Amino acid sequence: MKTIINIFLISCFLFCCSQTLVNAAKNPGSKCSFTEAMTLLEKYRGDSDIFRQSSECLEDMAPGDPLTYLLKGRLLVKIGFSKKGKFLSNALTKAKKYYEQAIDLAPDNYEVNYYCALFYAKAIKNKKKAAKHLAKIFKSPLNRERTLYLKMLLLPDGNLEKENLAHHFSESPVFIHKHNALEILTEIYLQIDHNLVDIAYKEILKNNKKYDVNMAWDYMNYAIFLTYQKWELDKAAEMLDISRSIMRFGMQDRTEAEILYRRGYQYIWQTNPREYKKAIALLEKTIKLNRRHHGAYYHLAVACYYQGMAKGSEELIYKAKKYIKIQMKLNPSYGENEKYLAMINKAITKIEK
């Protein structure tokens, strides 16, 4: 559904871009500037009205201005970004043409090289081209902070300079610099210091609240961190509820599925006595939210088998076989599939004698 909406938005945007634009010089009372439009786009967190507001800025920009092409390209990148972390190919192809037109018109312009470096680094994943544009903006004495911020994005993971720059920009008064620096710090420390990551997420939420940004994705990302890295499942569920109260989107269901799965896992392996009935209820909710979950069917089979054997429930034994067969199709290398299938089949043989 989201892909269909994105395609619709892209089509509408391309139609609008094809209309005659008015030269900014003839409109001294323009609605917004290039900088304001770009700032709006950087604050995008799922509110599609931002696309409309940014598109309106095009009405006050000259059709031959390289900044016009930059704005068109940036809009398409933002609109075309899907929930799976990939770009709709049509959006990316169209955006690349706009960026190339901007380069042809103003190959040495700071804004052109800044946004092209960002585009090639983040969207195209071509760091060689990104570095080429970065080298050009390093020659400019202007916008030193923005230049260093972009350098931070391009540095490889584990680079000490990247870490130092991220710390520096986490104190920036500029919203987008601070936000992205904090996000980079969460990546740097994800495997080495969960307390620092926790602090960074709290700063992200505080920063976005200050700048009146839609924080649905930030709360969800924090919930994901709490789930996968810290196993703080109650707090993760609380953050997810806040995210949903702001805006609803598909990734929230997958995150809830993981929280439910881990709670079910705990009832199977970490409680004494084991609570298989509670695990089954949670894991069945998991597969309703994420039908291809990597381990839910396996643990459902285990829980149904042991609960079925304990209670003498033939229905649960047959359910266990159904779930282990699904697990073996989805992820045959996960867990001890063959062992449990043999145990389940042995129980079924006794039932059917």
Q: How far apart are CA 318 and CA 323, in angstroms?
A: 9
- The single-letter DSSP state of residue 22 is P
Domain CATH number, residue 263: 1.25.40.10
In a domain, 192, yes or no: no
Structure tokens, 166: 């991220």
Q: How many residues does the chain have?
A: 353
Q: How far apart are CA 350 and CA 353, in angstroms?
A: 5
Q: How far apart are CA 140 and CA 144, in angstroms?
A: 8
Q: How confident is the model at residue 224 (pLDDT cuts 50, 70, 90)?
A: very high
In a domain, 3, yes or no: yes
Residue span of the structural domain in which 46 resides: 1-106
Q: What's the Cα-to-Cα distance from 162 to each of 123, 152, 266, rounded to whole Å? A: 20, 5, 38
In a domain, 117, yes or no: no
Q: Is pLDDT of 8 > 70?
A: no
In a domain, 344, yes or no: yes
- Domain end (from 90, 106, 122): 106
Give residue-wise pLDDT tens across range 287-301: 999 999 989 999 999
Q: How confident is the model at residue 46 (pLDDT cuts 50, 70, 90)?
A: low
The pLDDT value recorded for residue 86 is: 59
Q: How confident is the model at residue 54 (pLDDT cuts 50, 70, 90)?
A: confident
- Domain end (from 49, 79, 106): 106
For the chain, how long is the longest CA-to-CA vector? 90
In a domain, 177, yes or no: no
- Domain end (from 106, 129, 157): 106
In a domain, 115, yes or no: no
In a domain, 169, yes or no: no
On whether the CB atoms of residues 263 and 272 are closer than 8 A, the answer is no
- The total of structural domains in the chain comes to 2
In a domain, 118, yes or no: no
How does the average pLDDT of the chain come out, rounded?
A: 85
In 10 A of CB 329, how many CB atoms?
8
Q: What's the Cα-to-Cα distance from 253 to each of 224, 261, 290, 306, rounded to whole Å? A: 11, 12, 7, 28
Q: Is pLDDT of 281 > 80?
A: yes
Q: How far apart are CA 170 and CA 232, in angstroms?
A: 25
Give residue-wise pLDDT tens across range 74-133: 888 877 765 455 566 678 888 899 999 999 999 999 999 999 998 998 888 898 999 999
Q: How confident is the model at residue 1 (pLDDT cuts 50, 70, 90)?
A: very low
Q: pTM, whole model, 2 decimals?
A: 0.77
Please state the rounded mean pLDDT for residues 253-264.
97
Question: In this structure, what is the dihedral angle of CA atoms 59, 60, 65, 69, given to the nearest 10 degrees?
Answer: -40
- The single-letter DSSP state of residue 26 is G
SS3 letters across 32-49: CCHHHHHHHHHCCCCCCH
